[in-house]
């Protein structure tokens, strides 16, 4: 799968359904039929939507962990907490489970933000705060993560 591109503002209804934007649906069109997995994010108060093939790749990595180490078991339990398979309905809406809506604090407005091979699902206000908070440190973070002189990243 190619990298996903874009950040989109959407509305979510009282039942947790969100209509995917047309531009995002076009990017996902080759994989929509296979379905997705939605889960709590590890580092942020948002959700992560994995195309099923990307989820399987992640599960291959997780499956290699030694389950006889308590920390690995703790990680697996927490990483998979709240994981749910989801599909688009016949009208192109994605149903976000209520427990995950509550976890992410999603109200009426949300943001779908591409994150390479997955989509982050944020409450709009929380997303804007996270972006604003991160803006202060972004130059330093970019240098640390991408500024390795030994590798050509262009």
To 10 degrees, what angle do helices 138-146 and 124-135 make? 70
pTM of the model: 0.86
39-49 residue pLDDT tens: 999 989 999 99
In the chain, the DSSP E strands lie at 7-11, 17-19, 36-40, 47-51, 84-86, 93-95, 109-115, 118-123
90-138 residue pLDDT tens: 898 999 999 999 999 999 999 999 999 999 999 999 999 988 877 667 7
Q: Which domains does the chain have, with CATH numbers?
A: 7-146 (3.40.1550.20)
Q: What size, in residues, is the chain?
A: 154
In 13-144, the DSSP E strands lie at 17-19, 36-40, 47-51, 84-86, 93-95, 109-115, 118-123
């Amino acid at each position: 799968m190619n990298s996903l591109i874009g950040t989109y503002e959407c509305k979510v209804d009282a039942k947790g359904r969100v209509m995917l934007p047309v531009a995002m649906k076009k990017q996902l069109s080759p994989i929509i039929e296979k379905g997705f997995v939605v889960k709590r994010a590890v580092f942020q108060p948002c959700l992560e939507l994995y195309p099923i093939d990307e989820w399987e790749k992640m599960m291959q990595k997780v499956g290699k962990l030694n389950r006889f180490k308590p920390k690995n078991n703790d990680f697996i339990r927490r990483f998979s907490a709240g994981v749910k398979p989801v599909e688009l309905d016949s009208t192109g809406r994605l149903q976000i489970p209520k427990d995950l809506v509550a976890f992410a604090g999603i109200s009426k407005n949300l943001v779908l933000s591409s994150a390479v091979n997955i989509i982050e699902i944020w409450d709009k206000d929380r997303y804007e705060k996270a972006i604003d908070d991160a803006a202060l440190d972004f130059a330093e973070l970019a240098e640390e993560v991408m500024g390795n002189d030994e590798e050509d990243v262009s």
